[in-house]
């Protein structure tokens, strides 16, 4: 090839290749929904606009430094994009700044991360290879000696393109930057790299929020709670479990779609199905977690506050003042402890548990772990429950003991000898293995109940069982559509966020309760069962056994469920039928007539109030004893 004919500057080559790759990732790897032509246009132009802005900076450097800047920027940008791809494959979400500070968890991820890597991922770095090769082979001819006018023109053009991109995004999505909990909309409209810049700004803002808080913000929030969530009535079950032990079991990644359901003609959860008959079972109970997953579910149960939309509160605000469930029941004579066969520092639990009032954490060091009795993330559930019994029997009563299972954790690995049903057959390895690990957890629960009865603890305890969060993300739509025998659309995805919730009180008849409920309601419900007054507590949940309750369940991404509607991604569905009632694409514009619109404002207000409490550490200004 004649080098003198190569006139395309390296920075433009890099911008074109990187922009094209980013668009392909947006369109075919990220599961971003597009509803109209304008969204298509924005999604197409954004990668090239952002790439031009990033690589046009090269013209301000001297010739030789242009090569170095362009080479390393395309490598850095590709790595950032790839890390988001790997994260998205499991969580259908994008990385946030707080998550990067949770790097201490990375050593425990092991096979989970490896399971998200595909052999063809190398193709995602072809543009890097081309640019690096071109820089080495034709470097001199790809350099640009730009004058000041050219530099200013390139800079001005890149800014104009960004402004046009943002203007189109505002037309498509008014108040885009005010809906910060909806990361998909941010990425769809301003791109993943601009989203990361905006996320960094939000992170700095949230860090400053505590420093400038003075407690005056609480008056508006407490007024809201008194009007919306604080109900001074007491249900018929108030105090029914007074002085009884509480055994709380958090089921890793168990979703309600497996309950009372079959796979290949076999029950997936035979024990949990039987348990419904003599338990209070909430069939429309939703998890409300976000990026903190299990730790978020713990935070919700302990505090009846919403988790952060970015990162995990267990990491970002572990030192806040809280008025948590373990602390409250500790003041009523309860010994509170946690059983979880994992490293005590994972999700920063050792710090957070001490802060919210747990007296003892039985972590992996309390168990005998071997290659034979562990799989995936650690100790098998059967062995976990069995080894925990000796500690449970030695606790002073009454106690509150939380158990967190592990076996049904992504990537849902299970030893062949422990599998009692066959794998499912779909295009998703994740879903195929999921049913086997759910069944194993179910069988382990049956044995644990037997052990409780033999130990004499069963009759003096209430047993609460809750799924902590989803196990199957919407990255597996095709496989879920196959299993559910219906199109797995946005409505089905929200309904799949239902997780099992049982309150098992020995001697009580069972009842299936259909009212909508969520993890935000667990704390006040348990306190009322124990006969503890909550009139001086601050929470966004209400006792699930009361007839008068808040009329919506909010998910952390802004979606919500009411008695009549399911709302997600600007779409309002009939909750019973799944019929799309309206698509309020521009909520601040023509969307006012949507039947879901009044709830949109309520949900955003409640999520905002919870964020103010957490980010501002506002409970330090409140006297819960007065």
Query: What does the chain come to in residues?
Result: 626
pLDDT of residue 468: 95
pLDDT at 546 over 50: yes
Residue 580, SS3 per DSSP: strand
Read off the pLDDT of residues 297-313 as tens digits, 9 standing for 90 and up. Answer: 999 999 999 999 887 88
Position with higher pLDDT, 270 vs 601: 270
The pLDDT of 524-547, averaged and rounded, is 93
Kindly state the average pLDDT of the residues 247-267: 96
CA distance 538 to 534: 8
Q: What is the mean pLDDT of the chain?
A: 88
Sign (positive or negative) of CA dihedral 86, 92, 96, 98:
negative
Percent of the chain with pLDDT strictly greater than 70: 91
Active site residues: 294
Check: CB of residue 252 under 8 Å from CB of residue 408.
yes
Residue 58's nearest CA partner among 21, 109, 9, 107 is 9
Q: Where are the domains of the chain?
A: 3-209, 236-549
What pLDDT does 487 receive?
93
Which whole number is the average pLDDT over 209-214?
81
**Under a CB-based contact definition with an 8 Å cutoff, are residues 513 and 280 in contact?**
yes
Q: Report the distance separating Cα 565 and Cα 548, nearest Å.
A: 18
Residue 426 predicted with pLDDT over 60: yes
pLDDT of residue 215: 85
Residue 449 confidence (pLDDT): 98
The answer to whether residue 239 scores a pLDDT higher than 80 is yes
**Amino acid 2: pLDDT:** 45
pLDDT of 597 above 50:
yes
Which residue from 546, 522, 527, 552 is spatially nearest to 537, judged by alpha carbons? Answer: 527
Residues 166-191: pLDDT tens digits?
A: 888 777 776 666 655 567 777 888 88
Q: How do residues 56-107 score in pLDDT, each as one tens digit?
A: 888 787 777 888 888 999 999 999 899 888 888 876 777 776 666 555 555 4
Q: Which range, of 4-13, 225-234, 481-490, averages the lowest pLDDT?
A: 4-13
pLDDT of residue 104: 52
Q: Average pLDDT in the 559-579 region?
A: 95
pLDDT tens column, 113-145? 666 778 888 999 999 999 899 888 887 777 766
CATH architecture of 236-549: 3-Layer(aba) Sandwich (3.40)
Note the maximum CA span of the chain.
89
Return the higher-pLDDT residue of 146 and 225: 225
Q: Report whether pLDDT(31) > 60.
A: yes
> Which residue stretches of 140-282 are H helix?
148-172, 183-190, 192-212, 218-228, 270-275
Q: Look up residue 508 and give its DSSP letter.
A: P
Q: Averaged over 480-492, what is the pLDDT?
A: 95
377, 340 Cβ separation under 8 angstroms = no
Question: If pLDDT is split at 50, 70 and 90, which confidence band does 590 have?
Answer: very low
């Amino acid at each position: 090839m004649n080098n003198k004919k190569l006139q395309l500057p390296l920075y433009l080559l890099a911008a074109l290749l990187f922009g094209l790759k980013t668009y392909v990732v947006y369109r075919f790897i990220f599961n971003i929904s597009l509803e109209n032509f304008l969204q298509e246009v924005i999604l197409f132009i954004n990668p090239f606009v952002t790439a031009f802005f990033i690589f046009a900076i090269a013209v301000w450097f001297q010739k030789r430094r242009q090569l170095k800047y362009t080479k390393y920027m395309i490598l850095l940008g590709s790595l950032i994009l790839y890390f988001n791809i790997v994260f998205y494959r499991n969580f259908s979400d994008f990385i946030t700044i707080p998550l990067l500070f949770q790097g201490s968890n990375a050593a425990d991820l092991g096979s989970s991360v490896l399971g998200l890597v595909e052999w063809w991922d190398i193709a995602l770095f072809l543009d890097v290879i081309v640019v690096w090769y071109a820089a080495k082979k034709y470097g001199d001819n790809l350099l640009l000696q730009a004058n000041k006018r050219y530099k200013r023109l390139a800079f001005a053009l890149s800014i104009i393109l960004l402004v046009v991109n943002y203007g189109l995004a505002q037309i498509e999505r008014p108040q885009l930057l005010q809906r910060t909990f909806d990361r998909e909309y941010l990425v769809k409209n301003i791109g993943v790299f601009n989203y990361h810049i905006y996320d960094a700004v939000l992170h700095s803002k949230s860090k400053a929020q505590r420093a400038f808080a003075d407690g005056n913000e609480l008056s508006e929030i407490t007024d809201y709670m008194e009007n919306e969530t604080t109900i001074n009535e007491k249900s018929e079950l108030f105090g029914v479990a007074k002085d009884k032990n509480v055994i709380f079991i958090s089921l890793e990644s168990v979703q309600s779609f497996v309950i009372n359901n079959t796979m290949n003609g076999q029950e997936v959860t035979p024990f949990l199905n039987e348990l419904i008959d003599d338990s209070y079972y909430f069939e429309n109970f939703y998890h409300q977690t976000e990026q903190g997953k299990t730790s978020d579910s713990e935070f919700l149960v302990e505090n009846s506050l919403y988790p952060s939309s970015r990162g995990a509160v267990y990491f970002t605000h572990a030192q806040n003042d809280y008025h948590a469930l373990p602390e409250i029941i500790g003041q009523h004579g309860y010994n509170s402890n946690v059983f979880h066969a994992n490293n005590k520092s994972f999700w920063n639990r050792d710090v957070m548990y001490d802060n919210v009032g747990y007296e003892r954490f039985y972590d992996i060091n309390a168990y005998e772990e071997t290659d034979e009795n562990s799989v995936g993330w650690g100790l098998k559930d059967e062995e976990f429950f069995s080894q925990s019994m000796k500690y449970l029997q030695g606790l002073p009563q009454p106690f509150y003991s939380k158990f967190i299972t592990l076996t049904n954790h992504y990537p849902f690995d299970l030893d062949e000898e422990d599998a009692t049903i066959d794998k499912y057959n779909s295009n998703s390895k994740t879903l195929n293995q999921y049913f086997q690990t759910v069944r194993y957890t179910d069988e382990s629960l049956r044995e644990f109940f037997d052990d409780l009865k033999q130990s004499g603890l069963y009759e003096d305890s209430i047993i609460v069982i809750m799924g902590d969060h989803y196990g199957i993300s919407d990255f597996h739509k095709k496989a879920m559509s196959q299993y559910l025998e219906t199109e797995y659309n946005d409505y089905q995805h929200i309904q799949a966020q239902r997780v099992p919730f049982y309150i098992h009180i020995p001697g009580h008849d069972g009842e299936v309760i259909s009212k909508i409920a969520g993890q935000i309601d667990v704390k006040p419900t348990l306190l009322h069962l124990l006969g503890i007054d909550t009139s001086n507590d601050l929470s966004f949940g209400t006792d699930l056994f009361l007839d008068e309750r808040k009329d919506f369940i909010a998910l952390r991404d802004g979606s919500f469920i009411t008695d009549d509607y399911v709302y997600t991604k600007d779409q309002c569905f009939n909750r019973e039928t799944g019929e799309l009632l309206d698509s309020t694409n521009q909520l601040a514009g023509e969307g006012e007539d949507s039947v879901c619109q009044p709830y949109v404002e309520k949900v955003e207000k409640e999520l905002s109030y919870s964020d103010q409490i957490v980010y501002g550490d506002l409970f330090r200004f409140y006297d819960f004893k007065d």
